[in-house]
Amino acid sequence: MKFGVDFQNIRYAVLQPTFAHTAPGYDGHFTASPGVAYTGSGVADFFADFMNSDASSSFIQHNMGRWYRSAYAQDDWKVSRKLTANLGVRWDFFEPSVERGDEQANFIPVGAINVPGTGQAQLLFPASQKSQTLNSAFLAQAAKDNVSIVYSDNRSLVNSQKSNFAPRVGFSYQATNRLVTRLGAGVFYGGIENLGNYPNLGANYPFDLELSWPSPSCTAGMASCTTNGASLKNGPPTAGGFNPFAIGMAGFDANWHSPYTIEYNLATEYAFTDNTSLTLAYVGSVARHLQVVVWPNSSAAIAPAGTNTMSLQPFPDFGSIHNISAVAISDYNALQATFQRHFSNGLGYLTTYTWSHSLDDSREPLPSNGEGGDKNYTMFGLGVDYANSPFDVRQRFTFVADYDLPFGVDRKFMRKPGPLNLLAGGWSASLIFNAQTGEPFTVNDSGAISPVNGQVVGGISGGGTFAIKTGDPWAGGGSAPTGNPGTPCAAKTKTIAHWYNPCAFSNPAYPSSFGSSGYITGTAALAYYYSCKSKIPEGAGGFNPLKDGEFTWPLGPGLRPFSRN
User: Model confidence over 94-116: pLDDT tens digits?
Assistant: 999 999 999 999 999 998 999 99
Q: Report the pLDDT value the prediction gives residue 186, as an integer from 0 to 100.
A: 97
Residue 485 in this model has a pLDDT that exceeds 60: yes
Range name among 11-25, 69-83, 236-250, 508-522 with the lowest pLDDT average:
236-250
Residue 124 in this model has a pLDDT that exceeds 80: yes
Q: Report the pLDDT value the prediction gives residue 401, as an integer from 0 to 100.
A: 95
pLDDT in tens, 281-317: 999 999 999 988 889 999 999 888 888 999 999 999 9
Residue 541 in this model has a pLDDT that exceeds 50: no
- With beta carbons less than 8 A apart as the criterion, state whether 407 and 414 touch: yes
- Tell whether omega for the bond before 109 is within 30 degrees of 0, i.e. cis: no
Helices (H), 350-412: 377-380
Q: Can you tell me the distance from the alpha carbon of 51 to that of 474, in angstroms, rounded to the nearest whole number? A: 58
Residue 256 in this model has a pLDDT that exceeds 80: yes
Helix (H, G, I), strand (E, B) or coil at 173: strand
Range among 16-20, 403-407, 454-458 with highest mean pLDDT value:
403-407
Helix (H, G, I), strand (E, B) or coil at 479: coil
Range name among 26-40, 80-94, 300-314 with the lowest pLDDT average:
26-40
Q: Report the pLDDT value the prediction gives residue 8, as an integer from 0 to 100.
A: 94
Q: Can you tell me the distance from the alpha carbon of 326 to that of 364, in angstroms, rounded to the nearest whole number? A: 12
Q: Report the pLDDT value the prediction gives residue 559, as an integer from 0 to 100.
A: 52
| Range 54-82 average pLDDT | 91
Q: What is the pLDDT confidence band of residue 76, given thresholds at 50, 70 and 90? A: very high
- With beta carbons less than 8 A apart as the criterion, state whether 284 and 300 touch: no
| 309 DSSP assignment | G
Residue 179 in this model has a pLDDT that exceeds 70: yes
Task: Report the alpha-carbon angle 205-206-209, nearest 5.
Answer: 80
pLDDT in tens, 504-516: 888 888 887 887 7
Radius of gyration of the chain (CA): 31
| Range 496-502 average pLDDT | 84
Q: Report the pLDDT value the prediction gives residue 548, as an integer from 0 to 100.
A: 44
Q: Report the pLDDT value the prediction gives residue 554, as an integer from 0 to 100.
A: 59
| Range 25-34 average pLDDT | 83
Q: Report the pLDDT value the prediction gives residue 540, as an integer from 0 to 100.
A: 39
pLDDT in tens, 363-392: 766 655 545 567 788 888 888 888 888 888
Q: Report the pLDDT value the prediction gives residue 535, as an integer from 0 to 100.
A: 57
Q: Report the pLDDT value the prediction gives residue 370, as an integer from 0 to 100.
A: 47
Q: Which is more confident, 454 or 534?
A: 454
Range name among 35-49, 133-147, 351-365, 396-410 with the lowest pLDDT average:
35-49
Q: Report the pLDDT value the prediction gives residue 300, as an integer from 0 to 100.
A: 92
Q: Report the pLDDT value the prediction gives residue 537, as an integer from 0 to 100.
A: 52
Q: What is the pLDDT confidence band of residue 159, given thresholds at 50, 70 and 90? A: very high
Range name among 1-10, 123-132, 417-426 with the lowest pLDDT average:
417-426
Q: Report the pLDDT value the prediction gives residue 336, as an integer from 0 to 100.
A: 98
Helix (H, G, I), strand (E, B) or coil at 454: coil
Q: What's the predicted TM-score (pTM) here?
A: 0.83
| Range 39-62 average pLDDT | 86
% of the chain with per-residue pLDDT over 70? 88
| Range 25-30 average pLDDT | 84
Residue 268 in this model has a pLDDT that exceeds 50: yes
Residue 533 in this model has a pLDDT that exceeds 50: no
The distance of Cα 542 from the centroid of its chain, to the nearest Å, equals 24
Residue 74: closest CA among 94, 91, 57, 54:
91
Q: Report the pLDDT value the prediction gives residue 101, as an integer from 0 to 100.
A: 93
Residue 176 in this model has a pLDDT that exceeds 50: yes
Residue 59 in this model has a pLDDT that exceeds 70: yes
Q: Which is more confident, 562 or 498?
A: 498
Please report the DSSP string for 280-291 in residue order.
EEEEEEEEEEEE
| Range 23-30 average pLDDT | 85
% of the chain with per-residue pLDDT over 90? 43
Mean model confidence pLDDT for the chain: 84
Residue 353: closest CA among 266, 276, 280:
280
pLDDT in tens, 317-366: 998 898 889 999 999 999 999 999 999 888 999 999 999 999 998 876 66
Residue 560 in this model has a pLDDT that exceeds 70: no
